[in-house]
Amino acid sequence: MVSHSRFRSWIRRSVKFEKLEDVSPAFDLVINCAGIGARELVQDIDLEPHRGQVAIVPKIDNLSCAIVCDDPPLMYAIPRASDCVFGGTNELSDNLDADPTTTARIIDECTRVLKIQNPLVLAERIGLRPFRKSGVCLERDCLPDGRTVIHNYGHGGSGFTLSWGCAQKVFELAEELPGQRR
Ligand SMILES: Cc1cc2nc3c(=O)[nH]c(=O)nc-3n(C[C@H](O)[C@H](O)[C@H](O)COP(=O)(O)OP(=O)(O)OC[C@H]3O[C@@H](n4cnc5c(N)ncnc54)[C@H](O)[C@@H]3O)c2cc1C
């Protein structure tokens, strides 16, 4: 069992690798979970950025569960502990800037469905779903320097949902390596 504080001491934020071989040689196993970043990192041309924009609004009275409408226009309202997420969009784009017209459209649609007045917009958030045309990449490979890499990226709009199963599969692939069995 490894304590959380020990993991924390290994986590480095704001590091951008140009290639996987740049990972310190102190690690004999590299796990590539770069999301849309894998497009450049491993030159995977199958990856597409499916941009999503949401608006964060204050908690909505009497909204105790998420409401999702996948038919166009995409609409969802997801209550959280201290606020609510209104969405959303799904378009092929790399643009990480918030678009005020899109926010207004999201608010209009959510308030229409929920039959409420326009709430205050606390924040706008943009993310790029790492969609991979040929499906999730979850496989073991070898780096030019001989180290093993396990790729785990390309989960599109389902990365949270799939994360437990994919992490388990990564763990199994790592355990199959010679000398890795515990
Ligand atoms: C608006 C929106 C709504 C969504 N709703 C849902 C939902 O309801 N359910 C669901 O299951 N999923 C949802 N998703 C999808 C989900 O967010 C993604 O599938 C998930 O975040 C992918 O996780 P990941 O760890 O593979 O990639 P990411 O979360 O993108 O993480 C990749 C990480 O790798 C780092 N990185 C990239 N390149 C490099 C590099 N060269 N060097 C070093 N680090 C690098 C990045 O900085 C980042 O920290 C949604 C996404 C969006 C945008």
The Cα–Cα gap between 68 and 74 comes to: 8
What class does CATH assign to 49-131? alpha beta
What class does CATH assign to 16-46+133-175? alpha beta
**Residue in 69, 124, 125, 129 to alter for ligand 1 test, most ligand atoms within 8 A of Cβ:** 129
**Residue in 41, 53, 158 to alter for ligand 1 test, most ligand atoms within 8 A of Cβ:** 158
Counting from 1 in the atom list of ligand 1, the atom nearest the Cα of 160 is 11
Please indicate whether residue 160, judged by its CB atom, sits closer than 6 Å to ligand 1: yes
> Which residue ranges make up each domain of the chain?
16-46+133-175, 49-131
**Bridge-based pairing state of the strands 148-153 and 29-32:** parallel
What would the two tokens of residue 135 be?
Answer: 């499906």
Looking at the DSSP bridge assignments, the partners of residue 84 are 57, 79
Per-residue pLDDT of the chain (182 residues; tens, 9 = 90+): 445 665 566 778 889 999 999 999 999 999 999 999 999 999 999 999 999 999 999 999 999 999 999 888 999 999 999 999 999 999 999 999 999 999 999 999 999 999 999 999 999 999 999 999 999 999 999 999 999 999 999 999 999 999 999 999 999 999 998 776 44
Please indicate whether residue 54, judged by its CB atom, sits closer than 6 Å to ligand 1: yes
What would the two tokens of residue 77 be?
Answer: 């309202």
Q: How many Å lie between the centroid of ligand 1 and the Cα of residue 180?
A: 28
Residue nearest to atom 1 of ligand 1 (CA): 52
Fold identical between 16-46+133-175 and 49-131? no
Biggest CA-to-CA distance, the chain: 61
pTM value is 0.92
Helices (H), 4-99: 4-10, 38-41
